Amino acid sequence: MKIRAKVKLRRFFENTGNLLKLVIIVGIVMYTGFMVFKKINAKRLEYLPATPEQIKRIASETPCVTTLFREKLNADHNTDNLLSLREAKSMAIDCMKREELIAIKKEREDRMNVTQKMQLDALNDVN
């Protein structure tokens, strides 16, 4: 009688181990599928037209892009007048880079002008 109970108990634990393996495998597959779906859905959402709230947020973060948005949305020759979220973000990034380059160029010119003025002052002191 005790031997049968031990055999049944052993089978139960063996089956439980297989069941646990199955649950873990199903969990991993479901998690992986969810992550792939999430990534695909995020890509899909980037190509949908941007909502007014998204455009306002992007325009408030980078004011220089407002004119580019207006040009794009008011273009008569353009048949696709809608801005996708991806396109709006891309335009904002380009505008930010352009502004950074302009600021760097202005700073460099200011430093050169200061240096030039100091050189002229030094020459004037000599005479």
Task: With a cut of 50, list the residues of the chain below it in pLDDT.
Answer: none
pLDDT value at position 15?
66
Domain ranges of the chain: 2-96
pLDDT value at position 75?
73
Tens digits of per-residue pLDDT, 106-126?
Answer: 999 999 999 999 999 888 888
Tens digits of per-residue pLDDT, 42-53?
Answer: 888 788 888 899
pLDDT value at position 53?
94
Q: Which residues contact 62 (CB under 8 A, 6 or more apart)?
A: 92, 95, 96, 99
Q: 49 forms bridges with which residues in the sheet?
A: 84
Token pair of 72 as six digits: 């794009």
